[in-house]
C-alpha cells in the first residue's frame, strides 16, 4: 500500500476509532443526557422557547451513540438487541416533543378502542378512561422512567463507589465502619426500605433518587470494595503509592478504571432493577405523581377501570413498554458480560 | 462457626434496636400524630377539638410521652412478647402480624415449591452442555421472564387467565372464604419473575462444575454420563444455588408487596404498605422487625449452609 | 280562595305550601316533602297532589311494602370501606354509619324519594311557628337488651349531641343550634361556648318528646336522619364495636377494621327473651361488608366477589356498563368545593378570588367530567337538587374582567397559586383542578395542582389556603350553608365571616313561606357568589351497581343503605 492510499483511507478510520475513545463518548452522553434531564426535571419552570429547543441537540447525540454502540458491540447480537431496545426508548424520550403526537394530558374521547376515530382524532392505541390518547401517553411516559431511573442509579453508584473505594483502599477502621452501616441497610428487604423512606419523605421523583440510593448504594459499595481489594495488591497501584500519590488520586485514576468492566455490567442490571422499582413504587402510590404520563401511573390508574378484556389494552400497553425497556437493559448486561468473558 | 453465627445474630439485634429507635423518632412528628387523630376521630372532630382536648387525647393514646420513653416501654413490652396495639385496626399487633404472616407464608411456600424444582431443572439441563440449543433456550427464557416486572406479569396473567379465559379469579381478596384458585395467579407471578434468576445461577454453577478437572476425568474414565451428572456433578453444582435460593426469602418479602396489593391479597406486604400510609407506628415497627429478622436469618443460613456444603471454604 | 285541606294537613305551613302549589309556585314533590316534614303522612300527601306514591308499607312504617315473591334468607355482600366504629355521634363518614345502620336506627328516615317518614318516632307535629316540635316515640320498640325504647332514651341522645365535649358534628344541625344559647364563656380559641338551654328538651311522658327552639326550624325531622344521629342506648360506651345495643333487625356478628363487617339477624335479646323487631318482615339473613377501597369496589364486583358496591367513580362507568348488573344513578348535591381561605394571602384580597372565579367556566368542567348526569355549580354551594335552591342568573366567564381585577390587585405580571387536591372522592377532583389550571392560564394565573393522597388531604382540609374539598349531599341548601359558611362554625373551612350573609341565612331559615324562603336564600346565594369564596364547578351524580339477583334495592342520594326489604333471588 502506498502512502497516498493510506492518506485516503485514514480520515474515515480514525474518526470511528476516535469516537470509541472515552472522551468523545462521554461528551455525546452528556449532550444527550443533560438536555433530557433538564427537560424532565425542570421543564415546567422553563420559558416556552427554551423548552422547545432544548432537546434538539440530544437527538443527533442519541443517534450517534446508538451507531457507536451497534458497531462496537456487533460481535454480540444479544448486546445489539438490548442496545436497540434501550436506544429506541431513549430516542423516543428525546424526540417526543417533536413527534406528531397529541397532548398526552388532553381528554378527547374516554374509552375509545384501539384504532377508533373519534372527535377528529385517530386513536392508534385507543384512549384511556379519561379519553387521553394511549399512544401519546405511552411514548411520553418513557421520559420520566428513564430520567429518574438513570439519575437514581447514577447517584447510587457515585455514593456506593466512593464508599466502596474508601473501604477497600483504606481498610481497617474505615472498612469496618462503612461495612457495618451497609450491613444495616442490607438487612432490609428493598421494598420495605423504599416504603419506609418514601412514606417519610413523601412521593416525588427526587425522593425516589434518595430511596434508591439508600437501597442500592450498600450493594454497590460491596462490589466496588471487593474489586478494590482485588486490584489493590497489583503492581501498578503499589507503584503509584510509592510515587507518593494522594490516596484519592490513586483510587479514582488507577483503581476505578481497572474495575470498570464488572461495574458496567452491574450498572446495566441495576438500571433494570431501578426501572422496576420506580414503576412498582408509582403503582403503589409512593412514586411519581399524576398528571404527566408515566408507565407505572398508567397501570395504577387503569387497574381501577380496565378489569375486562375489552379495556385491558390500557394495562397491557404500559406493561409491555416497561418490560421492553427492562429487557433491553438486561440483554445489554448479558451481552456485555459475554463479551468481557470472551476477552 | 458458632462464633460467626453468634456475631451475626448480635449484629441483627443491634440493627433492630437502631432501626426501631429511628422509626419511633420519625413517627413522633406532629404530622403523624395528627394523621392518626384524623383517622381515629375524623377531620371534623379534630378541628373542633380545643388544643387542651387534643393534648388530652394524645395523653390518652400515650402519644404525648417522649418517644424515647415510649421506645423504652415498647422494648420492654416486646421482650415480653407484646407488640402493642394497631391504631388503625384497633387490635393487638402480634395477632395481626401472625395472621398476615401466615397468609404470606402460604404464598411463599407455593412460590418456593414451584420455583425450586423448576429453576434447578432448567439450570442443570442448561449447564450440562454450555452453548447447546437447550442452554440458549433456557437463557433466553430466563432473561425474558426476569425482565418482566411483577406488576407486568401480574397484568398479563390476569388478562389471559382471569379476564379472557375466565379460568381463575382476577383477585385474591377471598371474601367468600379461602380459595386455592385465587392463589394461582399471585404464585405464578412471583415464580415467573424469580425462577429465571435462580435458573441462571444454577446454570453458571453447573457449567463451572462440568468444566472442572474431576468431572472431565470421570467422563474420560468412561463412567456413564448419567452417573457422572447425578453422583458427582450435581452435588457440587447445587451448593451455589442453595445459597441463592435461601436469599430469595429476602427478595420475596419485597416482591409480595406489589403482588398482594395488585391481587388484593391480605398478607404481610399489604399490611406493611397500609400501615405505612396510615402512620400505624406499632404495626410498622413489628413488620419491619419481622422483615429484618427474615432477611438477616436468610443471610445467615445462606452463609452457614455454604460453609457446611463447601469443604473448600473455612471461616477463620 | 284557598281550598280547605283535610285535618291531617292542618299545619298552617302545609296550608301555605298548598296555596303556593295551587298557584303554580311550588313543585308537587316539594309539597309532599314539606307536608311529611310537618307530620302529615307521606302517602296522603302523594294522594292529595295526585302523584303516584312510591310503594310504601301500610300504617306508619317507613319501609317499602312486603314483596309476596320475596324469598327469606340469603347474604347480601357489599364492597365498601370497612371503617373503625367508635362513637356513632362522631362518625365522619357515611360508610361507618352504613355499617351500623341496620343495628342502630333513627328517629326519622328519609327515603330515596327525599321524603322523610317517621321511624323510631311514630309521628310528629310542629307548632304553627315551627318552634315547638313534638315527637311521639313509637311504642313497643325493643332494644337488643330487652328494654323498651322511651322518650328518655332519645332525649339522652339529643343532650349528648348538644354537649361540645362529645365533639359531634350534629351540634351544627338546626335542630340542635335552635336549642343552644351563648353561655358567655369562651374556649381557648376565643369562640363562644354554647350550652343547651334549660328546658329545651322536654320529656312530656314515656313516649312523648317535646323540643323547644328559640328559632323556627323546618328541617327538624330531616336533621334527625343525618348520619351521625343514630339513636344509642344510654348505656353506650365507645367503641360501639365492642358492645352494640340497637333497635334494628341486625347486629354486628364479625367486625374487623379494613377487612370485614358482618351483620347477622338478632333473634334473642341479651337477657334471653325472643327479640321482636318493630319494623315488620326483614328478608336477609346477613349483610356482609367487605373492605375494598373506593377504586377497587367495582373490580371486586366484576370478579363476582360481591353483589353490590358502595359506589363507583365516573371513570368506571364504562366498565360498569359492560358488566351484568343494575346500575343506579342518583342526582345529588355532592360536590367538590375549591374554596379559598379569605384570611390568607393572596386570597384575602377579594379581587383575586373574584378573578379566579370569573375565569373558571364551571359548565365546561362539568361537561368534561360528567357527560352523563350531574349539575353545574354556581359557586354558592346550593345545588339545583336542593328544594330551597333559587336559580340566580347564569354565571358568565369573563377573562378580561378578571385580568383587570388582578391588575388592580397588583398581579398584572401574573399570579402563582397552588391548590391542594386529595382526590378523596376519586381522580375526577384532579381532572377538575387541571381543567381549572388550563382556564386560569388565560387570565395569567398560574395554578399549580398539588396532588396528595386522600388521607393526607384530610389532615389539611381545613388548613390549606386553597384546597379542593369534597362535600357530601345534604337535603337542604340552608343546611349546607349553615354547616360551611356561617361565621365561626367548625366546618367553615374558608374562614368566611360575613354578618350580612349570616343575617340573610337566618332570614331564609326562619321564613315559613316556601317561595319567600327561596327568595331569601337567593340573597344568601348571591352574597356568597359575589364574595367569591369558592369555585364549585359541579354537583356530581352518584353511581352504584347491584347484581341482578338483588331485589328491592334502591339507590339513595346520600348513599345510605336501607336493606330492610331487600331480598336475594
Among left, alpha and beta (phi > 0; psi -120 to 50; other), residue C403 is alpha
Q: What is the mean pLDDT of residues C517-525?
A: 89
Contact status, residue C563 vs residue C544, Cβ threshold 8 Å = no
Examine the pLDDT at A6 and tell me if it is beyond 50.
Answer: no
Range in A136-150, A253-267, C241-255, C394-408 the model is least confident about: A253-267
Range in B27-41, C64-78, C295-309 the model is least confident about: B27-41
Length of chain C as a residue count: 569
Closest Cβ–Cβ partner in C295, C323, C451 for A289: C451
Q: State residue A241's pLDDT score.
A: 76
Identify the residue whose cell numbers are 402493642. Answer: B84
Q: What is the CA radius of gyration of chain C?
A: 24
Instruction: Locate B228 and state its grid cell.
Output: 457422572
Confidence class for position A44, pLDDT limits 50, 70, 90: confident
Confidence class for position A9, pLDDT limits 50, 70, 90: very low
Q: State residue A4's pLDDT score.
A: 40
**What is the sign of the dihedral through the CA atoms of C79, C81, C86 and C92?**
negative
Closest to A281 (Cα-Cα) out of A200, A218, A198, A187: A198
Instruction: Determine which helix (DSSP H) or strand (DSSP E) holds C544, and give its type and residue range.
Output: strand C538-546
Examine the pLDDT at C171 and tell me if it is beyond 70.
Answer: yes
Range in B71-80, B270-279, C179-188, C426-435 the model is least confident about: C179-188
Q: State residue A15's pLDDT score.
A: 42
Which of A80-89, B65-74, B237-246 has the highest average model confidence (pLDDT)? A80-89
Q: Is the minimum CB–CB distance between A19 and chain C shorter than 8 Å?
A: no
Considering only the C-alpha atoms of chain A, give the largest distance between any 2 of them, rounded to a whole number of Å.
75
Taking CA atoms, what residue in A is nearest to B264?
A: A303
Contact status, residue C490 vs residue B48, Cβ threshold 8 Å = yes
Residues of C with CB under 8 A from a CB of B: 77, 84, 86, 90-93, 164-165, 167-169, 187-189, 239, 241, 256-260, 288, 290, 292, 296, 299-300, 302-306, 453, 455-456, 458-459, 461-462, 490-491
Instruction: Locate C416 and state its grid cell.
Output: 402563582
Confidence class for position B48, pLDDT limits 50, 70, 90: low
State the average pLDDT for chain C. Answer: 87
Contact status, residue C539 vs residue C334, Cβ threshold 8 Å = yes
Question: Which of A145, A149, A187, A304 is best to mutate for the B interface (most B CBs within 10 A)?
Answer: A187
Examine the pLDDT at B234 and tell me if it is beyond 50.
Answer: yes
Cβ within 8 Å of C, A 129-148: 129-130
Shortest Cα–Cα distance, C462 to chain B (Å)? 8
Dump strand ranges (E) for C81-187.
108-110, 116-118, 121-126, 132-137, 180-186
CB-CB neighbors (< 8 A) of A290 in chain C: 427, 430, 451
Examine the pLDDT at A152 and tell me if it is beyond 90.
Answer: yes
Report the C-alpha gap between A235 and C55 in whole angstroms. 97
Closest Cβ–Cβ partner in B40, B49, B89 for C258: B89
Q: What is the mean pLDDT of residues C457-483?
A: 85
Q: What is the mean pLDDT of residues A160-179?
A: 88
**What is the sign of the dihedral through the CA atoms of C518, C524, C527 and C529?**
negative
Q: Is the minimum CB–CB distance between A183 and chain B shorter than 8 Å?
A: yes
Q: What is the mean pLDDT of residues C405-414?
A: 88
Q: Which residues does residue A308 pair with via DSSP β-bridges, in sequence order?
A: none
Instruction: Locate C177 and state its grid cell.
Output: 343550634
Report the C-alpha gap between C473 and C493 in whole angstroms. 17
- The model's pLDDT over C82-94, given as tens digits with 9 standing for 90+, comes to 988 989 998 878 8
Instruction: Tally C-beta pairs within 8 A across A and B.
Output: 115
Shortest Cα–Cα distance, B48 to chain C (Å)? 6
Report the C-alpha gap between A28 and A21 in whole angstroms. 11
Q: What is the mean pLDDT of residues C222-242?
A: 91
Instruction: Determine which helix (DSSP H) or strand (DSSP E) holds A139, and give its type and residue range.
Output: helix A134-170
Q: State residue C1's pLDDT score.
A: 43
How far does CA C58 lie from the centroid of its chain? 27
- C201-205 sheet: strands from edge to edge: C121-126, C132-137, C208-212, C201-205
Range in A280-294, C503-517, C520-534 the model is least confident about: C503-517
Q: Which residue has the higher pLDDT, A305 or C536?
A: C536
Closest Cβ–Cβ partner in C299, C322, C368 for A107: C368
- The model's pLDDT over C481-510, given as tens digits with 9 standing for 90+, comes to 988 898 888 788 999 999 999 999 988 887
Closest Cβ–Cβ partner in C318, C323, C427 for A110: C318
- Answer whether C258 sits within 8 Å of B38, measured CB to CB: no
Q: State residue A213's pLDDT score.
A: 92
Contact status, residue C29 vs residue C114, Cβ threshold 8 Å = yes
- The model's pLDDT over C18-34, given as tens digits with 9 standing for 90+, comes to 888 887 777 788 788 88
Q: What is the mean pLDDT of residues B261-276?
A: 90
Q: Is the minimum CB–CB distance between C372 and chain A shorter than 8 Å?
A: no
Q: State residue B311's pLDDT score.
A: 59
Q: What is the mean pLDDT of residues C341-364?
A: 91
**For the CA atoms of C130, C136, C138, C142, what is the dihedral angle to 10 degrees?**
100
Examine the pLDDT at C130 and tell me if it is beyond 90.
Answer: no
Instruction: Tally C-beta pairs within 8 A across B and C.
Output: 97
- Answer whether B170 sits within 8 Å of C303, measured CB to CB: yes
Q: State residue B312's pLDDT score.
A: 57
Query: Cα–Cα–Cα angle for B138, B143, B144, nearest 5°?
Result: 95
Q: Which residues of C288-305 are buried (b: 16+ CB within 10 A; e: fewer)?
A: bbbbbebbbbbbbbbbeb
What string of DSSP letters covers A3-65? Answer: HHHHHHHTTHHHHHHHHHSHHHHHHHHHHHHHHHHHHHHHGGGS-HHHHHHTTTTHHHHHHHH
Phi and psi (nearest 5°) for A234?
-70, 160
Q: Which residue has the higher pLDDT, B156 or B308?
A: B156
Cβ within 8 Å of C, A 287-306: 289-291, 301, 303-306
What string of DSSP letters covers C239-293? Answer: -TTTS---SSSEEEEEEETTTEEEEEE--B-TTSSBP--TT-----SEEEEEE--
Q: State residue A11's pLDDT score.
A: 41
Q: How many CB atoms lie within 10 A of CB A222?
A: 20
Closest to B247 (Cα-Cα) out of B303, B308, B203, B187: B303
Percent of chain C with pLDDT over 70: 97
Closest to C383 (Cα-Cα) out of C468, C477, C469, C471: C477
Confidence class for position A10, pLDDT limits 50, 70, 90: very low
CB-CB neighbors (< 8 A) of B164 in chain A: 309
Percent of chain B with pLDDT over 90: 17
Identify the residue whose cell numbers are 462503612. Answer: A178
Cβ within 8 Å of B, A 196-235: 196, 199-200
Report the C-alpha gap between B185 and B260 in whole angstroms. 11
Chains that touch A (3 or more CB pairs under 8 A): B, C
Q: State residue A19's pLDDT score.
A: 45
Q: State residue A8's pLDDT score.
A: 40
Chains that touch C (3 or more CB pairs under 8 A): A, B
Range in C26-35, C132-141, C397-406 the model is least confident about: C26-35
Q: State residue B49's pLDDT score.
A: 67
Cis peptide before C239 (omega within 30 of 0): yes
Q: Which residue has the higher pLDDT, B37 or C480?
A: C480
Contact status, residue A138 vs residue A298, Cβ threshold 8 Å = yes
Q: Which residue has the higher pLDDT, C7 or B241?
A: B241
Q: State residue B216's pLDDT score.
A: 80
**Secondary structure of C308-377 in the HEC alphabet?**
EECCECHHHHHHHHCCCCEEEEEEEEEEEEEEECCCCCCCCCHHHHHHHHHHCCHHHHHHHHCCCCCEEC
Range in B265-274, C49-58, C313-322 the model is least confident about: C49-58
Closest Cβ–Cβ partner in C90, C239, C290 for B42: C90
Range in B119-133, C47-61, C209-223, C292-306 the model is least confident about: C47-61
**For the CA atoms of B264, B269, B270, B271, what is the dihedral angle to 10 degrees?**
140
Shortest Cα–Cα distance, C322 to chain A (Å)? 8
Neighbouring residues of B293: CB distance < 8 A, sequence distance ≥ 6: B12, B16
Q: State residue C3's pLDDT score.
A: 67
CB-CB neighbors (< 8 A) of A312 in chain B: 155, 159, 163
- Answer whether A308 sits within 8 Å of C322, measured CB to CB: yes
Closest Cβ–Cβ partner in C318, C451, C453 for A111: C318
pTM of the full structure: 0.81
Shortest Cα–Cα distance, B99 to chain A (Å)? 19
Closest to C80 (Cα-Cα) out of C284, C306, C361, C394: C306
Q: Is the minimum CB–CB distance between A176 and chain B shorter than 8 Å?
A: no
Closest Cβ–Cβ partner in B41, B50, B175 for C189: B50
In Å, what is the CA distance from A187 to each residue of A192, B14, B203, B244, C367? 10, 11, 27, 16, 53
Examine the pLDDT at A2 and tell me if it is beyond 50.
Answer: no
What string of DSSP letters covers A287-323? Answer: S--SSS--HHHHHHHHHTT--SGGGTHHHHHHHHHHH
Neighbouring residues of C198: CB distance < 8 A, sequence distance ≥ 6: none
What string of DSSP letters covers C95-122? Answer: HHHHHHTTTS--SEEE-TTS-EEESSEE
What letter does residue B221 receive in the DSSP assignment? T
In Å, what is the CA distance from B280 to each residue of A176, B274, C231? 35, 8, 31
Q: State residue C34's pLDDT score.
A: 85
Closest Cβ–Cβ partner in B40, B48, B278 for C490: B48
Cβ within 8 Å of B, A 295-334: 296, 299, 303, 307-309, 312, 315-316, 319-320, 322-323, 326-327, 329-331, 334
How far does CA C63 lie from the centroid of its chain? 20
Closest Cβ–Cβ partner in A180, A191, A276 for B149: A276
State the average pLDDT for chain A. Answer: 84
Confidence class for position C188, pLDDT limits 50, 70, 90: low
Neighbouring residues of C134: CB distance < 8 A, sequence distance ≥ 6: C124, C125, C126, C204, C208, C209, C210, C211
Instruction: Locate A65 and state its grid cell.
Output: 451513540
Instruction: Determine which helix (DSSP H) or strand (DSSP E) holds B121, and give its type and residue range.
Output: helix B93-128
Amino acid at each position: 500500500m502506498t502512502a497516498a492510499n493510506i492518506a485516503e483511507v485514514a480520515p474515515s478510520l480514525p474518526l470511528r476509532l476516535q469516537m470509541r475513545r472515552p472522551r468523545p463518548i462521554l461528551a455525546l452522553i452528556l449532550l444527550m443526557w443533560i438536555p433530557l434531564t433538564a427537560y424532565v426535571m425542570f421543564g415546567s419552570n422553563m420559558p416556552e422557547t427554551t423548552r422547545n429547543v432544548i432537546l434538539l441537540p440530544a437527538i443527533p447525540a442519541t443517534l450517534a451513540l446508538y451507531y457507536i454502540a451497534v458497531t462496537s458491540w456487533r460481535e454480540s447480537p444479544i448486546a445489539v438487541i438490548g442496545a436497540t431496545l434501550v436506544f429506541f426508548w431513549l430516542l423516543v424520550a428525546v424526540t417526543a416533543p417533536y413527534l406528531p403526537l397529541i397532548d398526552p394530558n388532553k381528554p378527547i374521547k374516554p374509552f375509545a378502542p384501539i384504532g377508533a376515530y373519534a372527535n377528529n382524532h385517530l386513536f392508534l392505541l385507543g384512549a384511556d378512561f379519561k379519553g387521553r390518547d394511549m399512544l401519546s401517553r405511552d411514548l411520553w411516559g418513557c421520559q420520566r422512567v428513564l430520567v429518574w431511573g438513570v439519575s437514581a442509579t447514577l447517584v447510587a453508584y457515585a455514593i456506593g463507589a466512593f464508599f466502596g473505594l474508601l473501604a477497600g483502599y483504606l481498610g481497617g477502621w474505615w472498612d469496618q465502619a462503612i461495612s457495618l452501616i451497609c450491613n444495616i441497610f442490607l438487612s432490609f428487604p428493598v421494598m420495605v426500605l423504599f416504603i419506609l423512606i418514601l412514606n417519610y419523605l413523601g412521593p416525588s421523583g427526587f425522593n425516589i433518587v434518595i430511596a434508591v440510593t439508600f437501597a442500592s448504594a450498600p450493594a454497590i459499595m460491596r462490589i466496588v470494595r471487593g474489586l478494590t481489594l482485588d486490584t489493590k495488591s497489583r503492581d501498578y497501584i503499589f507503584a503509584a503509592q510509592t510515587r507518593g500519590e494522594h490516596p484519592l488520586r490513586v483510587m479514582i485514576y488507577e483503581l476505578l478504571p481497572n474495575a470498570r468492566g464488572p461495574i458496567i455490567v452491574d450498572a446495566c442490571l441495576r438500571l433494570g432493577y431501578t426501572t422496576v422499582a420506580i414503576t412498582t413504587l408509582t403503582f403503589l402510590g409512593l412514586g411519581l405523581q399524576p398528571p404527566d404520563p408515566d408507565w407505572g401511573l398508567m397501570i395504577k390508574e387503569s387497574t381501577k377501570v380496565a378489569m375486562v378484556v375489552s379495556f385491558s389494552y390500557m394495562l397491557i400497553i404500559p406493561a409491555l413498554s416497561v418490560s421492553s425497556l427492562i429487557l433491553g437493559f438486561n440483554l445489554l448486561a448479558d451481552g456485555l458480560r459475554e463479551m468481557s468473558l470472551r476477552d | 462457626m458458632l462464633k460467626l453465627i453468634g456475631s451475626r445474630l448480635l449484629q441483627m439485634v443491634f440493627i433492630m434496636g437502631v432501626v426501631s429507635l429511628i422509626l419511633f423518632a420519625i413517627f413522633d412528628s406532629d404530622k403523624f400524630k395528627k394523621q392518626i387523630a384524623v383517622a381515629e376521630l375524623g377531620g371534623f372532630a379534630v378541628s373542633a377539638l380545643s388544643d387542651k382536648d387534643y393534648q388530652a387525647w394524645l395523653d390518652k393514646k400515650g402519644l404525648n410521652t417522649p418517644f424515647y420513653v415510649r421506645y423504652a416501654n415498647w422494648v420492654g413490652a416486646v421482650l415480653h412478647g407484646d407488640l402493642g396495639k394497631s391504631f388503625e385496626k384497633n387490635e393487638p399487633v402480634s395477632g395481626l402480624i401472625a395472621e398476615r404472616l401466615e397468609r404470606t407464608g402460604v404464598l411463599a411456600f407455593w412460590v418456593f415449591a414451584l420455583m425450586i424444582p423448576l429453576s434447578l431443572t432448567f439450570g442443570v439441563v442448561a449447564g450440562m452442555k454450555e452453548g447447546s440449543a437447550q442452554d440458549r433456550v433456557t437463557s433466553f427464557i430466563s432473561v425474558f421472564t426476569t425482565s418482566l416486572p411483577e406488576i407486568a406479569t401480574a397484568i398479563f396473567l390476569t388478562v389471559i387467565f382471569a379476564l379472557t379465559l375466565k379460568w381463575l379469579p382476577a383477585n385474591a381478596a377471598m371474601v367468600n372464604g379461602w380459595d386455592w384458585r385465587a392463589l394461582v395467579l399471585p404464585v405464578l407471578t412471583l415464580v415467573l419473575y424469580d425462577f429465571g434468576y435462580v435458573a441462571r445461577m444454577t446454570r453458571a454453577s453447573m457449567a463451572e462444575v462440568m468444566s472442572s478437572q474431576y468431572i472431565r476425568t470421570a467422563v474420560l474414565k468412561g463412567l456413564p454420563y448419567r452417573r457422572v451428572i447425578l453422583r458427582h456433578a450435581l452435588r457440587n453444582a447445587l451448593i451455589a444455588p442453595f445459597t441463592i435460593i435461601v436469599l430469595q426469602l429476602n427478595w420475596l418479602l419485597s416482591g409480595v408487596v406489589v403482588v398482594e396489593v395488585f391481587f388484593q391479597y391480605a398478607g404481610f406486604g399489604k399490611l406493611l404498605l397500609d400501615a405505612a400510609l396510615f402512620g400505624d407506628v406499632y404495626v410498622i415497627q413489628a413488620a419491619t422487625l419481622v422483615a429484618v429478622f427474615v432477611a438477616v436469618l436468610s443471610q445467615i443460613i445462606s452463609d452457614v449452609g455454604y460453609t457446611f456444603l463447601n469443604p473448600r471454604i473455612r471461616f477463620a | 280562595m284557598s281550598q280547605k285541606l283535610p285535618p291531617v294537613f292542618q299545619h298552617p305551613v302545609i296550608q301555605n305550601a298548598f296555596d303556593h302549589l295551587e298557584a303554580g309556585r311550588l313543585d308537587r314533590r316539594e309539597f309532599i316533602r314539606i307536608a311529611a316534614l310537618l307530620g302529615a303522612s307521606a302517602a296522603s300527601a302523594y294522594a292529595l297532589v295526585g302523584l303516584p306514591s312510591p310503594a310504601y308499607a301500610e300504617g306508619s312504617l317507613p319501609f317499602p311494602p312486603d314483596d309476596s315473591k320475596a324469598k327469606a334468607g340469603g347474604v347480601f355482600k357489599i364492597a365498601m370501606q370497612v371503617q373503625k366504629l367508635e362513637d356513632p355521634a362522631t362518625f365522619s363518614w357515611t360508610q361507618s354509619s352504613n355499617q351500623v345502620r341496620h343495628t342502630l336506627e333513627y328517629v326519622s328516615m328519609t327515603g330515596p324519594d327525599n321524603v322523610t317518614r317517621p321511624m323510631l318516632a311514630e309521628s310528629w307535629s310542629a307548632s304553627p311557628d315551627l318552634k315547638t316540635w313534638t315527637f311521639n316515640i313509637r311504642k313497643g320498640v325493643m332494644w337488643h337488651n330487652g328494654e323498651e325504647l322511651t322518650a328518655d332514651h332519645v332525649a339522652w341522645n339529643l343532650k349528648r349531641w348538644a354537649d361540645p365535649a362529645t365533639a359531634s358534628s350534629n351540634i351544627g344541625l338546626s335542630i340542635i343550634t335552635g336549642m343552644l344559647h351563648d353561655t358567655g364563656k369562651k374556649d381557648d380559641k376565643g369562640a363562644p361556648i354554647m350550652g343547651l338551654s334549660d328546658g329545651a328538651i322536654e320529656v312530656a311522658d314515656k313516649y312523648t318528646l317535646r323540643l323547644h327552639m328559640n328559632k323556627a326550624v323546618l328541617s327538624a325531622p330531616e336533621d334527625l336522619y343525618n348520619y351521625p344521629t343514630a339513636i344509642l342506648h344510654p348505656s353506650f360506651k365507645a367503641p360501639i364495636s365492642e358492645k352494640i345495643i340497637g333497635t334494628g333487625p341486625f347486629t354486628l356478628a364479625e367486625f374487623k377494621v379494613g377487612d370485614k363487617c358482618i351483620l347477622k339477624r338478632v333473634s334473642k335479646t341479651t337477657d334471653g327473651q325472643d327479640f321482636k323487631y318493630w319494623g315488620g318482615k326483614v328478608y336477609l339473613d346477613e349483610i356482609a361488608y367487605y373492605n375494598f377501597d373506593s377504586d377497587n369496589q367495582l373490580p371486586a364486583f366484576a370478579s363476582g366477589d360481591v353483589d353490590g358496591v358502595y359506589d363507583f367513580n365516573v371513570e368506571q362507568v364504562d366498565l360498569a356498563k359492560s358488566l351484568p348488573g343494575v346500575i343506579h344513578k342518583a342526582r345529588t348535591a355532592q360536590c367538590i368545593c375549591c374554596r379559598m381561605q379569605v384570611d390568607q394571602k393572596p386570597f384575602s384580597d377579594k379581587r383575586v378570588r373574584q378573578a379566579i372565579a370569573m375565569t373558571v367556566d364551571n359548565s365546561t368542567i362539568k361537561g368534561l367530567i360528567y357527560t352523563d348526569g350531574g349539575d353545574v355549580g354556581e359557586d354558592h354551594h346550593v345545588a339545583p337538587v336542593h328544594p330551597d335552591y333559587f336559580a340566580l342568573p347564569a354565571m358568565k366567564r369573563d377573562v378580561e374582567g378578571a385580568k383587570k381585577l388582578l391588575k388592580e390587585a397588583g398581579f398584572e405580571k401574573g399570579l402563582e397559586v397552588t391548590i391542594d387536591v386529595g382526590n378523596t372522592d376519586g381522580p375526577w377532583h384532579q381532572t377538575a383542578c387541571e381543567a381549572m389550571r388550563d382556564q386560569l392560564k388565560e387570565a395569567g394565573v398560574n395554578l399549580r395542582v398539588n396532588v396528595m393522597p386522600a388521607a393526607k388531604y384530610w389532615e389539611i382540609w381545613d388548613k390549606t389556603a386553597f384546597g379542593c374539598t369534597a362535600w357530601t349531599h345534604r337535603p337542604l341548601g340552608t343546611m349546607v350553608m349553615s354547616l360551611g359558611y356561617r361565621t365561626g362554625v367548625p366546618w367553615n373551612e374558608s374562614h368566611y365571616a360575613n354578618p350580612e350573609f349570616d343575617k340573610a341565612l337566618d332570614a331564609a331559615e326562619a321564613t315559613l313561606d316556601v317561595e319567600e324562603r327561596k327568595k331569601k336564600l337567593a340573597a344568601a346565594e348571591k352574597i356568597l357568589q359575589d364574595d367569591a369564596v369558592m369555585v364549585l364547578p359541579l354537583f356530581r351524580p352518584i353511581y352504584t351497581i347491584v347484581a341482578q339477583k338483588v331485589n328491592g334495592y334502591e339507590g339513595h342520594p346520600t348513599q345510605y343503605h336501607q336493606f330492610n326489604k331487600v331480598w336475594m333471588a
